[in-house]
Structure 1
Amino acid sequence: MTTTAATRGVPPESETTAAIDPVVLDALQHQVAVFARRAEQTRLGGVGQARNSMDRAAYLLLNRLDQEGPMGVKALAAGMGIDSSTVTRQVAPLVDSGLVKRTSHPEDGRAVVLQLSPRGIARLEEVRTSRRELMAIVTDEWTEQERNDFTTLLTRFNASLSVIHNALPQEPPNS
């Protein structure tokens, strides 16, 4: 069976762009590119002493463990949409620094789960507070409704990107 964009849940380009003003699409892709550059420049790392003190990968891993509780590498990787070997590589320094601990799975003592340590919880909250302050500064002149709308739309945009990413054939890793 031949897999087409439509069977993967991704409409062919002609179906997706035909009804949308190309000027809007050009403006959107430009603003996303500018956002990506600004996000990388600032690393959206917050303000104050904790500014840029935790890289994006560490923040996302710690945040996921905090939100969803202890889990194995495979579950963590699947939830983040990345490869298990990537998670293993990214978790190692977090374990070494005492932010994450490896423990036995409560139902299967042979399996290992990752969980935040008390130090990891405290560190994550410090970084979250710093990043919260940055978001408050960036959106200082926005109304509460504008903040809510932007958050809703950005969440939807990221979810759509995730669907597209997961539907596309993955490139083999470089050897």
Structure 2
Amino acid sequence: MAVNQQTAEELIDLVFRLQRELRCVAQRSSDPRGPGTALQAVMRMIGEETELRATELAAKLGIGAAGLSRHISELVELGYVLRRPHPDDGRAYLISLTPAGAQAVAEEMQRRSTLLKQMLGDWTEDEAAAASHSLGKLTETLYHSIRAMKPGTTQMPIPAGDHN
């Protein structure tokens, strides 16, 4: 059975509200001596890969090359990120976390998860696991659906066998 329009709208509203609240959690749990929340997000994305091209990182973050360049320069200066020329493409750079960067990401995750665990003090483990499962399923569905769309469109491809 398909999701109806009202449910889709409610879900969008709830996801945006969740996003705002998670930003507050990130700000409350941040180490004021460390990188800000925007740089932490960049570092988390870098940490998901061993090493990646700057252009791939910009696409994952949804920002332009100039904005990414500023973030990367700051993170290199702070000692959290390495930037090296791509061995096969002289125009490209490969980005990775330094050991200090990986440690900073792990410590930030620990602070955030500790705060979230406190905030969810009246939840059961089953409730938290169910929420995690639902958010994971939503994230995977959106990830694959967006990548299935043709660039510059808002239309999903027609599934095989549905060409009426």
Q: TM-score, normalised by structure 1?
A: 0.64
Distance 1:152 1:169, change over 3 A: same
Q: How much does 1:155 deviate?
A: 2.8
Map of 2:80 onto structure 1: 99
Residue 27 of structure 2: which of 42, 45, 57 is its match?
45
Q: State yes or no: 1:78 paired with 2:59.
A: yes
For 1:92, the aligned partner's letter is S
Higher relative contact order (CA 8 A, sep 6+): 1
* Aligned-residue identity in percent: 21
Q: 2: CA distance between counterparts of 1:166 and 1:96?
A: 38
Unaligned runs of 5+ in 1: 1-15, 171-175
Number of positions where the alignment pairs a residue of Structure 1 with one of Structure 2: 149
Map of 2:106 onto structure 1: 125
Q: State yes or no: 1:32 paired with 2:15.
A: yes
Unaligned runs of 5+ in 2: 154-164
Q: 1: CA distance between counterparts of 2:133 and 2:65?
A: 29
Q: 2: CA distance between counterparts of 1:86 and 1:159?
A: 27
- The alignment partner of 1:44 has SS state of helix
Q: 1: CA distance between counterparts of 2:19 and 2:103?
A: 28
Contact persistence 2:25–2:116 (CA under 8 A): no
Map of 2:122 onto structure 1: 141
Distance 1:88 1:54, change over 3 A: same
Contact persistence 2:80–2:100 (CA under 8 A): yes
For 1:20, the aligned partner's letter is N
Contact persistence 2:51–2:96 (CA under 8 A): yes
Map of 2:70 onto structure 1: 89
For 2:123, the aligned partner's letter is W
Residue 58 of structure 1: which of 21, 39, 47 is its match?
39
Q: How much does 1:131 deviate?
A: 0.9
Q: 1: CA distance between counterparts of 2:60 and 2:28?
A: 25
Q: 2: CA distance between counterparts of 1:54 and 1:36?
A: 20
Distance 1:119 1:152, change over 3 A: same
